[in-house]
Amino acid sequence: MIGYLGPKGTYTEQAARFFADSLYAGRMSIRPYPSISQTLDAVENGDVAVAAVPMENSLEGSILVTLDRLAVAPLHISAEVTLPIRHAAFAIVGTDPQQILEVRSKPEALAQCRRTLRTIMPRANHADMDSTAAAIHFVAQRGDPSIACVGDLAAGLEAGLQLLQMDVQDEPYNETRFALIVRAGQRPPQEGSAATGSGELTLPDVYKTSLLLALGNDHPGALFEVLGVFARHRINLSRLESRPTRRGLGSYHFYIDLLLRDTDETVRDAITELGRLSGFTVKDLGSYPCYSPAEKATDQ
């Protein structure tokens, strides 16, 4: 079973279906959960084998609840898919956008559409929901013409709502990375094991290795030492991001993505060298295939 951020109709559902079809040959069913935290809880306590959750958006950056859980929980990333994001604005039939006083959606979706929404519905305040699908269901059930929502086109139309405008994201280049999360030590799926609808194998674009680097006693040049290890081994990084350790102001750990598998000798040597640096600890967050199918536009 694959858990995902629900309810039915979220963009994460599309990512979950991709993982189910392409990595498990359709042998895994999917189950929605009302929040990212509850979705990850389900993996940790064994309610589901794996979970699909959003990791990062090209406009608004990392999904912090996902990152922060990876830092403290026995969870690993086993696969990733990047999907294009196309948001639609909806309200009940007959709504005048100029009279809308509130627009609801997932915080990241609202942030991705901030400027456009001010133009379409200038009087509307923004209200957060756990998912885009939850926002669509809320508006459909309330039947209030003063409330709008942002979400997936198909989900909004299925709910019987009026499409106010398609592609309300502020920038045309809008993508989200979704991760497939497993418990630490669990065997990951076999990538490329299933055929797509066209009969072609689903194969990864690249492989990544994700690390969490913690600095013990901070000192001048500490991060430079770390980056120097990767430079000496000629390892390309696709992400370097700091997050508070919650041990006080100025205390951070770093998420690092390498564009190589951890089975590569250069990666193993670099991780070994990092472990020898004084005051550093390294947590392996997973080494996994990354996909970017272009057939279906989706959202978080």
- The CATH code of the domain that includes 182 is 3.40.190.10
- The CATH code of the domain that includes 233 is 3.30.70.260
Check: CB of residue 286 under 8 Å from CB of residue 256: no
Check: CB of residue 102 under 8 Å from CB of residue 128: no
Mean pLDDT score, 197-223: 75
Mean pLDDT score, 186-195: 58
Per-residue model confidence (pLDDT) at position 235 = 93
Query: Are 50 and 189 in the same domain?
Result: yes
Determine the straight-line distance between the first and last CA of the chain, rounded to whole angstroms: 20
74 within domain boundaries: yes
Give the containing element (helix H, strand E) for 291: strand 280-291
Number of helical H runs and strand E runs in the chain = 9, 15
Report pLDDT digits (tens) over 115-134.
Answer: 999 999 999 999 999 899 99
% pLDDT > 70, the chain: 91
- pLDDT at residue 217 above 70? no
Give 172's contacts (C-beta < 8 A, 6+ positions apart).
none
295 within domain boundaries: no
**Token digits of residue 91:** 């309200």
Cα 52 from chain centroid (whole Å): 8
274 within domain boundaries: yes
In the block, which residue shows the tokens 């990850």?
40
- Find the domain containing 137 and state its range: 88-166
Q: How many domains does the chain have?
A: 3
Report pLDDT digits (tens) over 230-269.
Answer: 999 999 999 999 888 777 676 778 999 999 888 889 999 9
Check: CB of residue 169 under 8 Å from CB of residue 116: yes
298 within domain boundaries: no
